[in-house]
Amino acid sequence: MDDRIRETVDKHRGRLRYDLSQRLERSRLELERALDARLRDAVDAIRRGLERSERERADADARAVDPGLRAARERLDDLIRRLRELAGGEP
């Protein structure tokens, strides 16, 4: 009788151990997926922030340089107009 009880207990203990290991594995996989998703979201947010910062910086740099560029463009346009006049082309 004691042997049958031990065998039954061992059998159920093995089933419980297997069930627990399966549940732990599923929980681990779910946690891993959730952490991966959050990490991807964080990386994407940081990337978007960096891109926005770079655009804003480029815009600020362009505004700071813009007066000089505008003056250079006007001078080039004036030179092109004069060259056309000298070449007998349309003004």
Residue 91: pLDDT band with limits 50, 70, 90: low
Which residue in the block uniquely carries the two structure tokens 């990337």?
47
Taking the whole predicted model, whether its pTM rises above 0.85 is answered as no
90, pLDDT greater than 70: no
How large is the average pLDDT for residues 40-64? 87
Gyration radius (Cα) of the chain, Å: 37
pLDDT in tens, 12-28: 999 999 999 999 999 99
- Mean pLDDT over each residue of the chain, to the nearest integer: 89
pLDDT in tens, 76-87: 999 999 998 888
Nearest to 25 by CA among 17, 15, 13, 14: 17
Read off the DSSP letter of residue 58: H
pLDDT in tens, 38-48: 999 999 999 99
Which residue in the block uniquely carries the two structure tokens 């594995």?
25
